[in-house]
Amino acid sequence: MSNDVLNQNEVESLLSAMESKAAEASTRADALVSTNPSRTREKITPYDFKRPERVGKEQMRALQSLHEGFGRTFGAAISALLRTIVEVKLTSVDQLTYSEFIFSLDNPTCLNLLTAQPLEGNLILDINPSILYPIINRLLGGGADFGSVARRPLTEIELRLVGRITDLFLKALKRAWSNILSLDFGVERVESNPQLVQIVPPNEVVVLISFELTLGDVRGMMNLCIPFNAIERIANRLSTNNWVAYTSASPTNESIKRVSSRLHGATVELVATLARSRITTSDLLELRVGDIITTEHDVHAPMDVAVEGIVKFHASPGALKGQKALQIEGPVTNMDGRDPHGP
């Protein structure tokens, strides 16, 4: 056993030999770097396995262009619904994990679980309470001044009003996606707690499309979450070669004829206004069969005939084959056109 034990001199000689070999290896590595300086300029890009980028840059650009056009369409639709200017602006199109999206949401919020046939799985439409409650206030007849945002789940009445907003959103979204794929959108359910909605695993990649809505002095976000597995099968269609944006090209003779041929068979509402008069509510309640209502309309003056609510013709009343009839006397001028139901 004693022959296997190294003395102090042997230990020191081994350490010296190891140090000399390490110094030689370092010198050789420095020489290799000096002879190949390009290796020092290599760029190393870190890769996060928790956030893999599965959607290509071309597909991301196509999604951004597509939803920029959608924002303008949806902004016009919701402005008409609220009868005030609502600006809808696309703020970002990002890739992130589903858990990052869920933890970034307020609680409570308005989380709409969507279906988009024939895509697999579900999509999510999140409407932030900071803009949702002012919109509901406007729908209920409120003014521009709005108090603090309520931190509570939506009531049944509010959910019905939210349904009108999501319907507009989904109609505009279907139109925007029609150049890629015809989708049939629907709302499966509405949740207030985002932690209760688990449509994909936490580490699954999703595409988050965020819009900023501006209503007067109030601003808020609407977020559309699209899991990658829902659009994986159609990813090849999301390219600049296959996707066509909205354009304002001038109509051709062929398109004019096609639209005209379809309009010829369209049904329109025709309303003839015999006369107008104003009475009090008490007089209205006391009306009985046979009562006579006086008007300032001359019996010989022409009647207004409106097509889809717009006055287009002057006519005189009459009868034809035992039925009430109108004889068109001529079109109205631009100054004559007015809403027949207006004051």
**CATH code (residue 203):** 3.40.1550.10
> What is the count of structural domains for the chain?
2
Between CA 165 and CA 204 the distance in angstroms is 29
- In this predicted structure, the answer to whether residue 113 has a pLDDT above a threshold of 70 is yes
Q: Are residues 340 and 202 in the same domain?
A: no
pLDDT digits 0-9 by tens, 203-255:
889 999 999 999 888 899 999 999 988 888 887 777 655 544 444 456 788 87
Band of pLDDT at residue 29, cut at 50, 70 and 90 = low
pLDDT digits 0-9 by tens, 250-290:
678 887 887 887 788 788 888 888 888 888 898 888 888 98
Q: Does residue 2 lie in a domain region?
A: no
Q: Are residues 200 and 308 in the same domain?
A: no
Q: Are residues 69 and 201 in the same domain?
A: yes
Q: Are residues 234 and 299 in the same domain?
A: no
Q: Are residues 169 and 274 in the same domain?
A: no
Of 16-30, 115-129, 186-200, the range with the lowest mean pLDDT is: 16-30
Q: Are residues 67 and 177 in the same domain?
A: yes
Q: Does residue 148 lie in a domain region?
A: yes
Q: Does residue 309 lie in a domain region?
A: yes
- In this predicted structure, the answer to whether residue 2 has a pLDDT above a threshold of 80 is no
Q: What's this model's pTM, rounded to 2 decimal places?
A: 0.56
Q: Are residues 106 and 180 in the same domain?
A: yes
Q: Does residue 209 lie in a domain region?
A: yes
What lies within 8 Å, CB to CB, of 331 at 6+ separation is 312, 313, 314
**What pLDDT score does 342 carry?**
45
**What pLDDT score does 246 carry?**
43
Q: Which helix (H) or strand (E) holds 86?
A: strand 86-97
Asked if residue 70 lies in contact with residue 173, where contact means CB atoms within 8 angstroms, the answer is yes
Between CA 250 and CA 248 the distance in angstroms is 6
Q: Are residues 228 and 102 in the same domain?
A: yes
Q: Are residues 201 and 163 in the same domain?
A: yes
122: domain range?
57-247
Alpha helices in the chain, H assignment, sequence order: 8-35, 57-82, 98-103, 129-139, 156-177, 228-231, 253-264, 281-285
